[in-house]
Homo-oligomer: A and B are copies of this chain.
Amino acid sequence: MKLQQLRYLVEVAKQGLNVSEAAEALHTSQPGISKQIRLLEDELGVQVFIRNGKRVVDVTAPGKEILRISERILREAKNLKRVAEEFVNEEEGSLVIATTHTQARYALPGTISSFMQRYPGVKLSIKQGSPTQICEFVLDGSADIAIATEGIDQFPELISLDCYQWNRSIIVPDNHPLLELRRHVTLADVAAYPIITYDFAFAGRSKINRAFEAEHLSPNVVLTAIDTDVIKTYVGLGLGIGIIASMAFDVHRDQGLFAIDASHLFEPSTTHIGVRRDAYLRGYTFSFIEGFAPHLKRETVERALNTYGED
């Protein structure tokens, strides 16, 4: 049994049971893959793939188990390399952060820029996506950590670390009646106007829904956006009032708009960092996490990673 044989297996499965594409993805030849898979199947005495004549059409029952374990082995092998890199040069490497628009645009810039100054040798990159997508990036290894408010706790393979709590604001155009009420605004007041807010899967939208439901109000949501900038644009156009994360409002930049604190109307949301349970994190990754959420010291995170008891 060889590591590449496992790599071949996994890649074929990943490419939708297409050996040719797997070969391309791995920069090698189809026959090589076919042969090695055959050899492995012979060695194990079990077919992994079901072939219809010459075409791979499905995975056998044992194949599913085998693929699962193979993935784990390959992941650990990657960790091994990462450990080595860490010791060779603590200051160099790469860090891929998967996150949502709101985090990328409003929460992360400060942390990112000081991180880049501190670790100029680390190739930092950001992958933007929906909460579900970014979790999947972390799962399949194409990102190291996920940062989002929604979704992370839904993946048991990920550890979810609380970063910070935040509240919401109502944003309105100039001269809007709600500005008279200011802090005395109620949910009912809000529900009286057309509302523009986040898409269902994003930025704690579920908490907004819950708040209205609790008071049996049915708000008139006229537009759901993935990012705050879209919301602001349409609030500016007078389409309705916006409910956004407070941190996304900037008095200077957002001329013509006004924010009304709404922390008394909606329960606060918490932004989380998600990491694979079985990931090996580089030293600078711990440093990044601590930069973003100062209470998440290295030891705290390590302890969380090992919650299931094993060392």
**Chain A: residues with CB nearer than 8 A to chain B?**
1-3, 44-46, 60-62, 65-66, 68-70, 72-73, 76-77, 79-81, 83-88, 156-157, 277-278, 280, 307-311
Given contacts A156-B310, A277-B309, A310-B157, contact A79 B69 (CB under 8 A): yes
- Which residue of the partner chain, among B46, B68, B79, B277, contacts A308 with CB atoms under 8 Å? B277
> Bound state CA distance, A311 and B158, in angstroms?
11
Between A68, A156, A308, the greatest number of chain B beta carbons within 10 A of the residue's beta carbon is seen for A308
Between A76, A84, A278, the greatest number of chain B beta carbons within 10 A of the residue's beta carbon is seen for A84
Given contacts A3-B1, A156-B310, A308-B277, contact A76 B72 (CB under 8 A): yes
> Bound state CA distance, A65 and B77, in angstroms?
12
Q: Please tell me how many copies of the chain the complex holds.
A: 2
| A80 in contact with B73 (CB, 8 Å) | yes
Given contacts A157-B309, A307-B308, A310-B156, contact A44 B80 (CB under 8 A): yes
> Bound state CA distance, A68 and B311, in angstroms?
9
| A44 in contact with B81 (CB, 8 Å) | yes
A sample of 11 cross-chain residue pairs with beta-carbon separation below 8 angstroms, ordered by A number, consists of A1-B81, A2-B3, A3-B3, A44-B81, A46-B84, A46-B87, A62-B86, A62-B87, A68-B311, A69-B83, A278-B310
A84 contacts across to B, CB distance below 8 A: 44-46, 62, 66
For the complex of A and B, 8 pairs with smallest distance between CB atoms:
A308-B308, A156-B309, A44-B84, A62-B87, A46-B84, A65-B83, A45-B88, A73-B76
Which residue of chain B lies nearest to A65 when distances are taken between CB atoms in the complex?
B83
A85 contacts across to B, CB distance below 8 A: 45
> Bound state CA distance, A85 and B66, in angstroms?
11
Query: A136 CB to closest chain B CB, in angstroms?
Result: 15
> Bound state CA distance, A85 and B69, in angstroms?
14
Query: A91 CB to closest chain B CB, in angstroms?
Result: 15
> Bound state CA distance, A157 and B308, in angstroms?
9
Query: A3 CB to closest chain B CB, in angstroms?
Result: 6
Which residue of chain B lies nearest to A74 when distances are taken between CB atoms in the complex?
B73
| A66 in contact with B44 (CB, 8 Å) | no
> Bound state CA distance, A76 and B75, in angstroms?
11
> Bound state CA distance, A62 and B80, in angstroms?
10
A310 contacts across to B, CB distance below 8 A: 156-157, 277-278
